[in-house]
Structure 1
Amino acid sequence: MDTFILALKNIWSNKMRTILTMLGIIIGVTAVIVIVGLGNGMTQSVRDSFSAMGINSMSVSIWGRGSSRNASVDYMYQVVQDNPLYLQDISPYVQVSGGQTVKEGRDTYRYTGVYGVNEDYTSMANYTIADGRGLQYMDIKENRYVCVIGDYLSREAFNGNAIGQDIKVGPYRFQIVGVLAAKGNDPELQEGGEDDRIYVPYTVAMKINQQSTVDTYTVIMADENYANQAKAAVEQALYAIYEDEDAYYVYSMSELLAQMNQTISMVVMVLTLIAGISLLVGGIGIMNIMLVSVSERTREIGIRKAMGARERTILFQFVVEAGTTSALGGVIGILLGYALSAAATAAVPLIMPGESVAITPGSSAVLVSFGISVGIGVIFGYLPARRAARLNPIEALRYE
């Protein structure tokens, strides 16, 4: 404790020099805190986005590769029924071709997505029917020109009174039978988002696109922990039809999420290593200032050794002083890092409306940053401390 108090007194007696010495440590720790917080925020944001789409979902794309055999809708339904342990539900997913413009009266909605699905899709996609009803089996079977629309389109085009109204998709007129509850977090519900969509029977969408088979499906897994088994079950069923692995492609949202998280982690790691250069520079600065301190206090060291101080006592004194200097820089860097993280969290929605990323460093990043800052001080302070401990007391007393 006496050594620590002495270290604080020596630091306080040279405040400006100490602050300049700690600057590298402060910048390095601040950068690490903000970068790790940004990585955590981006990871959570991506996970939230995927949760909205359904992490337990898979997408199946079928090209066929010129095969005379095709996987029919009934065949794909049977695949799900035959694998209840891994697969829970399925829906065709037919995007109406982009040339079909959505209109209501004289207003055109260029960014509204129009998709053909079955009666189960809205619940599969975690939508809630806010008004009216969802698509039904008979709508699909009888090719009825009915639709369910998102909350954004309901408010913008019909002032919230969409049930029973008609909306045009290209030359085709659809009767609105249901309105979905708002799904997006943004109160403005920007156009082109999840709440700016129209869902029609997939049989009608196929007719508009003039296609005879469904080439895209959305599948819900029974348990996302068995994503590999669920994917394998679908792939085996498709291989039995086409006997060609290039005729289809199956990927799960959990698989895509894992790839995204891996990419984010890699970027954060590279940026953290770059920020670590500042910590290295800070350590060199501490070594430099401690060498200067040893030169300035040579006579003091000689007096202490002449009075019986051992080498290890002198060594410990200067190592503690270097570690304390670095630790103070680490604490300041952590506080500054949290302040910048909070400021950045508040600034993101202003820079990118509709987006929000909570930049949260986490306790592990704080502990690691503090530990590294102290460790750098001790490591880079050891050489000057060793030099001080090995001074000849007679020569030290003669030093001017």
Structure 2
Amino acid sequence: MNPLSSIRIAFAALRLNLMRSMLTMLGIIIGVASVITMIAVGAGAEARIAQQIDSLGSNLIIVVSGAITSGGVRLGFGTQMTLSEDDAQALQREIPEILVAAPGVRGTAQIIYGNLNWSTVIFGTTTDFLAARDWGVAQGRPFEQAEEDRAAKVALLGQTVASTLFGSADPVGQLIRIKKVPFTVVGVLDRKGQSMQGQDQDDTVVMPLSTARNRVLGGSEVSRRAVGAILVKMREGADMHAAGTQIHDLLRQRHRLQPAQDDDFWIRNLSEVAQAQEASSRVLTLLLAAVASVSLVVGGIGIMNIMLVSVTERTREIGLRLAVGARSRDILGQFLIEALTLSLTGGLIGIAVGAAASFTIGHWAHWQTELSMPAILLAVGFAAVIGVFFGFYPARKASRLQPIEALRYE
């Protein structure tokens, strides 16, 4: 019997018990759909993390000022401004791998335009800030070094602030008031979206550091050349871990900290954060896929069970074929083809169900999902292996029947 005849006979046998075949495939359908959906959800989470890391800026290290202690209670990093503009200049001057180091101060204020107002984050920084954050300007222009030198009253608006105060109108050139001080809007920043902590990065106003210090935040909040943070952008290909160590050692030296003293600053290497979060996401994806794969194994057991029933029901048919010249390998191939057909058909239906489930989750739950061809091929390939593995025993049992005994079977 040639392979084509075996395939034809296998399909005919499955059509005779169509409902039973569909119920048998149900386990494979659920298994493949679950694997594809779980991997799509996990891949979407990884992509979301990558987007959030990219929105912060590539090759970025953030140095935050130290913590203040009040009544024996440490209030957290950034509560005491232990960094300075001089620290930022020293980092850029003495560590060759640093491309730019942008110092900054941060506060909150009410922004007023006409009869509209909005409370937002004020960030005073240097002209290197946009390069450090890989942040472009959608409208207008960035502020210039000359404006920073003379503490000019100019500001860049984030997308959230611009849309809240101006709607669809062009904010560039308009006057806004921040703590009763008039500012000219010189540009609108590109959209960044949420940070890894879920904060809206576009809900901000960026202005020259000298302006924020002298005209908005005031001497009580920011004294002399102190800053709350320094954004350090490394050159492409730089060793981020080694750079973090160099920054740490240089700042301890500049702050004259003794070996027994704690750091009065905190270094956050975003590449390490990204790697840790991506690793966690991959582990979660693999765990979800492994759990979903249990459904495939259950589906395989269902295939083996129904194939054993089929062998029992068709014992006389098998004996007749063996008696008229069919070989054992023909019977083995026929039943293996039936098992493989059940698993592959279930796999193909499972792909459609999994894709639909992924789309539904992404659309209604607002959760990013990503279908990938490797995940689809893996799920279908696993389904095929399950079909062959669990179909082999019933097929082998059928092929080893003796013609005389099979013909006598009632």
Pick closer, same or farther for the CA change 1:277–1:130 going to 2, 3 Å: closer
Matched, 1:297 2:314: yes
Pick closer, same or farther for the CA change 1:396–1:163 going to 2, 3 Å: same
SS at match of 1:218: strand
Unaligned runs of 5+ in 2: 70-80
Equivalent in the alignment of 2:222 = 211
Pick closer, same or farther for the CA change 1:342–1:291 going to 2, 3 Å: same
Matches within 5 A, 1:343-354: 343-345=360-362, 347-348=363-364, 352=366
> Matched residues in 2 for 1:53 and 1:73: separation?
21
Pick closer, same or farther for the CA change 1:128–1:368 going to 2, 3 Å: closer
C-alpha displacement of 1:325: 1.0
Q: CA RMSD in A?
A: 2.9
Matched, 1:229 2:232: no
Equivalent in the alignment of 1:103 = 112
Matched, 1:369 2:382: no
> Matched residues in 1 for 2:10 and 2:49: separation?
46
Query: For each residue in 1:256-312, what CA deviation from the matched residue of structure 2 results, as whole angstroms up to 9, or x when unmatched?
Result: 222222222122112112211211110111011011001001111222333344433
Pick closer, same or farther for the CA change 1:76–1:108 going to 2, 3 Å: same
C-alpha displacement of 1:175: 1.3
Query: For each residue in 1:99-151, what CA deviation from the matched residue of structure 2 results, as whole angstroms up to 9, or x when unmatched?
Result: x33333443313x2211211221343333445555333354444444432234
**Out of 65, 76, 95, which is 1:83 matched to?**
95
Equivalent in the alignment of 1:255 = 272
Equivalent in the alignment of 1:264 = 281
Equivalent in the alignment of 1:277 = 294
**Out of 201, 206, 209, which is 2:208 matched to?**
201
Equivalent in the alignment of 1:189 = none
Query: For each residue in 1:189-245, what CA deviation from the matched residue of structure 2 results, as whole angstroms up to 9, or x when unmatched?
Result: xxx844432112334545536233223111111115532232222122123233456
> Matched residues in 2 for 1:131 and 1:39: separation?
36
Query: For each residue in 1:325-370, what CA deviation from the matched residue of structure 2 results, as whole angstroms up to 9, or x when unmatched?
Result: 111111111122223334444x15xx54xxx73x332111111111
Contact (CA 8 Å) 1:61, 1:250: kept in 2 or not? yes
C-alpha displacement of 1:89: 0.4
Pick closer, same or farther for the CA change 1:398–1:55 going to 2, 3 Å: same
> Matched residues in 1 for 2:137 and 2:332: separation?
73
SS at match of 1:183: coil
Equivalent in the alignment of 1:386 = 396
> Matched residues in 1 for 2:113 and 2:189: separation?
20
Equivalent in the alignment of 1:220 = 233
Pick closer, same or farther for the CA change 1:246–1:7 going to 2, 3 Å: farther
Matched, 1:22 2:25: yes
Equivalent in the alignment of 1:44 = 47
**Out of 103, 108, 115, which is 1:92 matched to?**
103
Query: For each residue in 1:153-209, what CA deviation from the matched residue of structure 2 results, as whole angstroms up to 9, or x when unmatched?
Result: 3454244245251312xx4524124122442589xxxxx844432112334545536
Query: For each residue in 1:42-86, what CA deviation from the matched residue of structure 2 results, as whole angstroms up to 9, or x when unmatched?
Result: 3223322322321222211231789xx9553223222222222x2
- The number of equivalent residue pairs is 381
- % identical aligned pairs: 31
Matches within 5 A, 1:50-129: 50-63=53-66, 71-84=83-96, 86-96=97-107, 98=108, 100-110=109-119, 112-129=120-137
> Matched residues in 2 for 1:334 and 1:133: separation?
49
> Matched residues in 2 for 1:157 and 1:122: separation?
23
Pick closer, same or farther for the CA change 1:245–1:18 going to 2, 3 Å: farther
> Matched residues in 2 for 1:71 and 1:226: separation?
23
> Matched residues in 1 for 2:290 and 2:139: separation?
53
C-alpha displacement of 1:373: 0.4
Matched, 1:165 2:175: yes
SS at match of 1:11: helix
Contact (CA 8 Å) 2:82, 2:265: kept in 1 or not? no
> Matched residues in 1 for 2:386 and 2:159: separation?
56
SS at match of 2:385: helix
> Matched residues in 2 for 1:177 and 1:266: separation?
46
> Matched residues in 1 for 2:14 and 2:263: separation?
68
Contact (CA 8 Å) 2:66, 2:82: kept in 1 or not? no
TM-score, reference length from structure 2: 0.83
> Matched residues in 1 for 2:137 and 2:295: separation?
54
Unaligned runs of 5+ in 1: 187-191
Contact (CA 8 Å) 1:129, 1:178: kept in 2 or not? no
SS at match of 1:391: coil
> Matched residues in 2 for 1:182 and 1:72: separation?
28
